[in-house]
Structure 1
Amino acid sequence: MALWDRVKESASMMQTQLTAKKNDLKSGAFRDASMAMCALVAAADGTIDPSERQRVAQLIASNEVLQNFPADDLQRRFDDSLTKLTTDFALGKVSVMQEVAKAKKKPAEARAVIQIGIVIGGADGDFDKTEQAVVREACYILELPPREFDL
């Protein structure tokens, strides 16, 4: 199986698992951690161009699980995290990872945050090494084994 197909299949499988848990993923901690994860993946290489920002924003708005929350609220939280990351990536990353850590208390939410990172990273068919690295780092923050997610 080609790498492209494996990435698409993995992202699709993660989205299916997330959708099955949709009713359990309604907390503010999950919302905040998810938007922080989306921003981390989008800015994983240290920059984010307007088209990438728009693509991730569209993915957030169309994600069935994230529809538990008002779209404008999600957009604001995503943009706030991106601003932190694009202003000073190293310092912003510390702050944004603290948002990700909010999901640590509930293992199901923590796993869902990682799955959202994988879905966002794999949406373009190229879950690249820098995106994988930030999701792997988030696994450690959330005290989840990266191997559980093939990272």
Structure 2
Amino acid sequence: MALWDRFKESAQTMQTQLTAKKNDLKSGAFRDASMAMCALVSAADGSVDPSERQRVAALISSNDVLQNFPAMDLQRRFDDYLNKLTADFDFGKVAILQEIAKVQKKPTEARAVIQIGIVIGGADGVFDKSEQAVVREACFAVGLNPAEFDL
């Protein structure tokens, strides 16, 4: 099986796992960490073009697990995190990783945030090295081994 096929299958499995845990993923910390992760993956290469922003926004609004939260609230948070990254990527990344780290004490939420990052990263058909690197950093921020997610 080709690497991309394995990744695609893995991303689908992760989305299924997320949906199964939907009722456990309703905290404000999870909401904020998820939007921070989406922004971080979107800007992983140091920039965000408008089409990528739209694609991620569409994925956020259609993600079953994230429908626990009002769409406008998610959009505002995603945009705020993206603005931090576009203003100063390195400084913004530190702040965003701190936001993601807030779910560290809740393993179900921590794993779900990482899985959302992987699903978002692979949504365009390519989970590139810069996206993998920021998701790996997020794993360390929440105290999870990146190898658990094949990173």
Normalized against structure 2, the TM-score is what?
0.98
Alignment partner of 1:8 is 2:8: yes
Give the secondary structure class of the aligned counterpart of 2:45.
coil
Aligned to 2:104: 104
- Contact 1:7 / 1:125 at 8 angstroms: preserved in 2? no
**What is the correspondence of 1:121-140 to structure 2 with a 5 Å cutoff?**
121-140=121-140
Aligned to 1:82: 82
In 2, Cα distance between the equivalents of 1:6 and 1:81?
Answer: 30
Alignment partner of 1:18 is 2:4: no
Aligned to 1:34: 34
- Contact 1:41 / 1:135 at 8 angstroms: preserved in 2? yes
The Cα offsets for residues 79-120 of structure 1, whole Å up to 9 and x where unpaired, read as: 000000001000111111111111111011000000000000
In 2, Cα distance between the equivalents of 1:109 and 1:94?
Answer: 20
Aligned length: 151
In 2, Cα distance between the equivalents of 1:27 and 1:132?
Answer: 26
In 1, Cα distance between the equivalents of 2:104 and 2:4?
Answer: 31
Give the secondary structure class of the aligned counterpart of 1:144.
coil
Give the superposition deviation at 1:58.
0.2
Give the secondary structure class of the aligned counterpart of 1:4.
helix
In 2, Cα distance between the equivalents of 1:129 and 1:6?
Answer: 16
Aligned to 1:62: 62
Quick one: which amino acid aligns to residue 63 of structure 2?
N
Note the aligned Cα RMSD (angstroms).
Answer: 0.7
In 2, Cα distance between the equivalents of 1:63 and 1:99?
Answer: 21
Quick one: which amino acid aligns to residue 79 of structure 2?
D
Give the superposition deviation at 1:4.
2.4
Give the superposition deviation at 1:40.
0.4
Normalized against structure 1, the TM-score is what?
0.98
Which portions of structure 1, spanning 4 or more consecutive aligned residues, are displaced by more than 6 angstroms? none
Structure 2 residues not aligned, in runs of 5+: none
Quick one: which amino acid aligns to residue 39 of structure 1?
A
Identity, % of aligned positions: 80
